[in-house]
């Protein structure tokens, strides 16, 4: 069974001459899958990958996750996440 890991990803982007910084906690199998999920979430807001500058990717413990719903899923006995082959 593959171990689920948590990542805190911080990035910057510009919109209408303003700079924004965004930080998300992502649950994934590895760092590459976490980045794909992160770009997917920001893509829902109309951002393109080339508009986003990732400033840091840090692995965190499951108890450090800030989103209460995500923390509950991560700390359950059998956390379920969608895995693409």
**Domain assignments of the chain as residue spans, ordered by start:** 5-62
pLDDT at residue 41 is higher than 70 = yes
- Whole-number pLDDT of residue 4: 81
pLDDT single digits (tens) 5-37:
899 999 999 988 999 999 999 998 899 999 999
pLDDT at residue 59 is higher than 90 = yes
pLDDT average, residue stretch 59-70: 89
- CATH code of the region 5-62: 3.10.20.10
- HSE-CB for 38 with a 13 A CA cutoff: 28
pTM over 0.85: no
CA distance to 4, 7, 16, 53, 73, per residue, from 20 (Å): 29, 20, 10, 11, 28
More confident residue, 11 or 79: 11
């Amino acid at each position: 069974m593959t171990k689920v890991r948590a990542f805190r990803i911080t990035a910057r982007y510009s919109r209408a001459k303003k700079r924004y910084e965004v930080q998300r906690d992502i649950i994934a199998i590895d760092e590459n899958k976490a980045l794909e999920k992160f770009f997917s979430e920001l893509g829902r807001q109309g951002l393109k990958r080339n508009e986003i500058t990732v400033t840091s990717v840090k692995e965190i413990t499951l108890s450090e996750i800030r989103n209460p719903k995500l923390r509950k899923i991560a700390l359950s006995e059998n956390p379920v996440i969608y895995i693409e082959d």
